[in-house]
Amino acid sequence: MKLPKYDGNIHPNEWIKQIQICCFLKKIVYCGDNILNNDALWIISNNNITNLITFQNSITLKHKSSSNNYLSVDSDYKACGGNEGLTIDWTLQHSKNERNYLESKDNVLLKISFGKNTNVKNLTLRSHENILKIDNNDYQEVFAHENRIGGIDEWCIELIE
C-alpha cells in the first residue's frame, strides 16, 4: 500500500487516517488464509550447516514478501522481530515431544528467552484473540507472553522450498 497523496478531494483528517493505516499495515502480516500466499510465508533461518532444524537450535523468522521482521502493533508487547537489522532468536518446542527435529505439519511452540542471570524471562508466541479489521481484511496480532500455555499457543508449521 502506497502513501496516499493529498489531492484536496477529501477532508484532511480522512487523509491523515489513510496515512496512519498505511503505516500501520507495514507492521503486520496477514496470516489467516487457508490458501498459501506470499503474505503467509516466513523464511526460517538457523545457524546449522545442514537444513535440519532441531528443537535444540534457535531460529530467526523473516517475512518472505517484504523481507522484514515485524514489531507488535500494541506498544505494550515486545518485538517479535525488528527492523533496522535487529533479529530475535526463537526456539521451537514440539507440542507433543514426538522427536527432536522439525517436520512439515508439526504443531510447535515458538519460545524466546531473554535477560541475564536470575532475571531470565521465558516467553511463548501466542495468537491474539482480537481481530483487527483494515480495508475489509481481517488481521490477527501475535505477541509473546509468559502465562500458562494453551491451545492458541500452538503453531502448525508447513515446510516448503
Does the pLDDT value for residue 94 go beyond 70? yes
Q: Please tell me the distance from the alpha carbon of residue 140 to that of residue 160, in angstroms, as a whole number.
A: 23
Q: Per-residue confidence at 85, pLDDT binned at 50, 70, 90?
A: very low
Q: Per-residue confidence at 50, pLDDT binned at 50, 70, 90?
A: low
Own/partner pairs, 78-83, CB within 8 angstroms, 24+ separation: 78/123, 78/143, 78/144, 80/125, 80/142, 80/143, 80/144
pLDDT at 130: 67
Q: pLDDT tens digit string along 125-146?
A: 777 666 766 667 666 666 777 8
Question: What 3-state DSSP class applies to 38?
Answer: helix
Q: What percent of the chain has pLDDT over 90?
A: 0
Q: Please tell me the distance from the alpha carbon of residue 131 to that of residue 20, in angstroms, as a whole number.
A: 18
Question: What is the mean pLDDT of the segment spanning 43-64?
Answer: 68
> What is the model's pTM?
0.55
Q: pLDDT tens digit string along 16-38?
A: 777 666 554 454 444 555 555 66
pLDDT at 102: 80
Degrees to nearest 5, angle at CA 26 with 152 and 34: 40
Question: What 3-state DSSP class applies to 100?
Answer: coil
Does the pLDDT value for residue 4 go beyond 60? yes
